[in-house]
Structure 1
Amino acid sequence: MTKSFVTVTRGVIWSVRRWQRALTLRARCAKGGGDCCTCERCGLVADTAEKKPLSFQDMILTLHDYWSARGCAILQPYDMRVGAGTFHPATTLRSLGPEPWNVAYVQPSRRPTDGRYGENPNRLQHYYQYQVILKPSPADLQEQYLGSLAAIGIDPLLHDIRFVEDDWESPTLGAWGLGWEVWCDGMEVTQFTYFQQMGGFDCKPVAGELTYGLERLAMYIQNVDNVYDLRFSDPVGDVPGLSYGDVFLENERQFSKWNFEVADTDTLFAGFKAAEDECKRAIAANVPLAAYDQAIEASHLFNLLQARGVISVQERANYMARVRDLAKGSCKAWIDSQSERWTEKYPGWVL
């Protein structure tokens, strides 16, 4: 473990302890009277006692409000089929370069091989992540993260919050970072990463990334064992609420069948090659955003081919390398298209 990583780890432990002190002050504060206190002495702390757990929908809206209040632009999900929130260009491309970038968004994510026809209580081929990118990474990112947990109903004083070393890597994006899995009472709820490289290029300055697993968090908050039993939305007047199963169970059944049994493999192979060729053409034409779209498409088609079981172990490594080359090429083209403006705006910055 490097010295810098030890320093960051100690900072996390300090953050948890500081939060415990703040929450204790909240309970003692005369102004707050033991309820939610927002005075300067205690800091903004969400009171989670005696409240109905948030619905899936309200949990997302609460995270939007929380991160918006801390300067994040709330973006929309990217309109491509991606395997994780990190694939959104607001993360992949915008993590590069010197410009400040603070955003949050929900991203539907697809992992075809994880489908279980709607029969597994916690494994899905389509799920949701909540992504936060803060560049440059603020010194109090751990504290801000703990505050977000409190806002959605997980009081750091009442639960065992642990940061378990787990440096992150995405081979298909040519990306890696230092970080942790965040566990709440023994269950992973978030990936916390300080990006070091994206597309094979250094992240300067380092960006902080938080990736919340929304279904898992909601199951924990609502204390349910089956994802399809989650309250997706609450009733309003005569309008009934919906469960997660009401919204997504049939999707899981049909897309699992599509992913594993129906998708035509010849079409998928041809689509992968077409996306690869288009990505290279877009890079040559200096339109890196369009190029990156094709890299995303190639990545998803590769995942579908894996679900169909038509790629061998040896071929898998080759396909991953091809996707990585597309992502790296797109990132390089993005840097090349922006570097002149960056150096003018930020004298002294070098990649």
Structure 2
Amino acid sequence: MSADLAFAPAPRDPARSFQDMILTLHDFWSAQGCVILQPYDMRMGAGTFHTATTLRALGPEPWNAAFVQPCRRPTDGRYGENPNRLQHYYQYQVILKPSPPDIQALYLKSLAAIGIDPLAHDIRFVEDDWESPTLGAWGLGWEVWCDGMEVTQFTYFQQMGGFDCKPVAGELTYGLERLAMYIQGVDNVYDLAFNTAGVSYGDVFLENERQMSKWNFEVAETGALFDLFAKAEAECRNALSAGVPIAAYEQAVEASHVFNLLQARGVISVQERTSYMGRVRDLARSSCEAYAEKMAPEWQAKYPGWSLV
């Protein structure tokens, strides 16, 4: 190869770069055998909604994956005026199935890789069992605190879509902005160094936070949102009746986000909120159930002795 075409990547510098911190986590979890996936191309409130987590937690097949997921929580927007509250932010998601016996040690090694030496910091696992009624899911879990600040949620999935997880999957959810603020020693998320070339997090996202907060709280047309919710609900049922539960699940995710927008607009009463949450839950659980039932014959053929229930 010509010397002009040769390329040697610069060393990662997670202590001075948000993107290098992400790339270092990619390097670390890739070395552990994880498939490094791309974000799901839909608006969702948490990385757990990615099909690589939710649907892949079902069934007996081994599955190890890691990915960044942009998350949207419209009611958390603060017009770019709050130093650590965002309506759009990033989670780093790892799912390991079956959960390895050394998952806690692997996690601590991943912290060391991005510049947090577990021996030099107060790392605590605070019991915090996780539940998502929307997904019909729950798990035994811990919040991971570093020097008094929560940086990760660590969960052993016990159920997903109302079905027992057999085998149990381990999930790690890193709060990327919070971790980066800690590592870089800044108090304002917009002051984070996004890379080592002088681009800040604020350069990338501050205007987005201003405009999207206004849209979420003031501008989004509520009649159109109610219509979008009804259409997503109907299309989910349509997909379920046609035997394509992955497509149905996507519509459940869409309905969930539209519901969050309706909450941000302040047009759902307390009583209506309970009703809408129940409708989203029914869509998501029905999609997970249909996926598990559709895949069960294939899983049982590959893994004799395994059963869905």
**TM-score band w.r.t. shorter chain:** over 0.9
For the pair 1:149 / 2:106, whether they are aligned, the reply is no
The equivalent residue for 1:316 is 273
> Out of 203, 209, 226, which is 1:246 matched to?
203
Cα distance in 1 for residues equivalent to 2:169 and 2:14: 35
User: Runs (4+) of structure 1 moved beyond 6 Å?
Assistant: none
Of residues 263, 275, 280, the one that matches 1:306 is 263
SS in 1 for 2:261: helix
Q: Which residue of 2 aligns with 1:290?
A: 247
> What is the CA RMSD across the aligned residues, in angstroms?
0.8
**Distance between the aligned counterparts of 1:303 and 1:89, measured in 2?**
20
2:91 alignment counterpart: 129
**Map 1:44-55 → 2, pairs under 5 A:** 53-55=15-17
Matched, 1:81 2:43: yes
User: Is this contact kept in 2: 1:54–1:153, CA < 8 A?
Assistant: no
Secondary structure of the equivalent of 1:190?
strand
Question: 2: CA distance between counterparts of 1:52 and 1:305?
Answer: 38
Q: CA deviation at 1:72?
A: 0.1
One-letter amino acid of the counterpart of residue 66, structure 1: F
1:299 and 1:90 map into 2 onto residues whose CA distance is 18
Kindly state the Cα deviation for residue 52 of structure 1 after the two structures are TM-superposed: 7.5
Query: Given residue 165 of structure 2, which amino acid in structure 1 is its aligned partner?
Result: C
Match of 2:101 in 1: 139
**Pair 1:222 & 2:184 matched:** yes
**Quick one: distance in 2 between partners of 1:78 and 1:306?**
23
Q: Contact 2:144–2:151 at 8 Å: present in 1 too?
A: yes
- Corresponding position: 1:161 with 2:123: yes
AA in 1 matched with 2:234: D
Structure 2: which amino acid aligns with 1:263?
A
1:172 is paired with a residue whose SS is: helix
Give me the identity figure in percent: 80
SS of residue matched to 1:206: strand
C-alpha contact 1:116 1:125 (8 A) present in aligned 2? yes
Equivalence for 2:231: 274
The unaligned stretches of length 5 or more in structure 1 are 1-50, 236-240
- Higher Rg of the two aligned structures: 1
Per-residue CA deviation, residues 129-168 of structure 1 (Å, 9 max, x unaligned), is 0000000000000000000000000000100000000001
Partner of 1:6: none
Task: State the alpha-carbon separation in 1 of the partners of residues 256 and 45 from structure 2.
Answer: 8
AA matched with 1:259:
N
TM-score, normalised relative to structure 1: 0.83
Higher RCO (C-alpha under 8 Å, 6+ residues apart): 2
Deviations 1:29-61 (A, max 9, x none): xxxxxxxxxxxxxxxxxxxxxx88241000000
Distance in 1 of aligned mates of 2:29 and 2:243: 34
- Which residue type is aligned with residue 154 of structure 1? I
